[in-house]
A = this chain, B = another copy of it.
Amino acid sequence: MTKTIETAFNIVETILELEKAGVAELADELNKPTSTVHDYLQGLEEIGCVVNDNGTYRVGSRFLSIGTRMRSQLEIYEMAKPELQNLAAKTGEHASLMIEENNYGVVLYTATGERAVQVDIHDGDISRLHTTAPGKAILANFSSERAEAIIDHYELTPRTPHTITEKSEIFEELDDIREQGYAIDREELFEGMQGVGRPIVVGDNVIGAISVYGPTGRMDESKITEKVSDMVLETVNVIEVSLKY
């Protein structure tokens, strides 16, 4: 159903992968006739979804526009943004806000500290919840039925050599996280990067999670438990209070 929309997005994603592309190149990549691809591109151009620089197309700014307007409508984003900038400044690393959407974790916003390493991660990126520190913090605070339902949706393929691939192991860790209040990512998402995450809880609902990530050298486990974890907690507390008014 709605096959048209799906192929439209496929075309956009393909352009994104190639950075820019012509009709023939895209048609080849998508195994579709050039005439069909051309029809789509023309339609997509009319509504600002792609931009045509004499023959080669790139993705247009319409997506950015819709995406940022959507984000600004989320109260949690507006409350968290300035606090994340504080947190990034204090730690010098990456500070992010994650929410759950459709069984996956979505990074809504990342503030970048002075010393933060350059990683190729963007606002809007999605990941399986058990593969990140903030994702695990969210999972740990869902009901066990809901957490299990989510995990069952996933294929537990590893992302890095350190990614957990055993369901039982995940649940063991979730227990620990619930107890100590924060989750640690030990190079499970990116090799060489460690992070700590804490849930944002208002009433009985987990609204999202805050995390700080940095290179393993600067973010070893003792530093997390001694300092960074507390800074994240402070940030979370401020956000939780803002959300309650």
Residues of A within 8 A of B (CB): 1-2, 4-6, 8-9, 12-13, 16, 19, 39-40, 42-44, 46-49, 51, 58-73, 101-102, 106, 108, 120, 122-126
Contact = CB atoms under 8 A, between A and B. Distances in A.
B66 A59 contact: yes
A61 B126 contact: yes
Contact of A5 (B16, B47, B101): B47
A189 to B, nearest CB: 16
Nearest to A44: B5
Nearest to A16: B69
A67 B73 contact: no
Given A61-B67, A66-B63, A2 B124 contact: no
Contact of A102 (B12, B60, B65): B60
Given A2-B43, A13-B66, A43-B5, A73 B122 contact: no
20 contacts: A1-B39, A2-B4, A2-B46, A5-B40, A5-B43, A6-B46, A6-B47, A9-B47, A19-B73, A48-B126, A61-B101, A61-B106, A63-B66, A64-B70, A64-B108, A65-B124, A67-B68, A68-B122, A68-B124, A72-B122
A120 B63 CA distance: 18
Nearest to A7: B5
A13 to B, nearest CB: 7
Given A48-B102, A64-B67, A122-B69, A4 B4 contact: yes
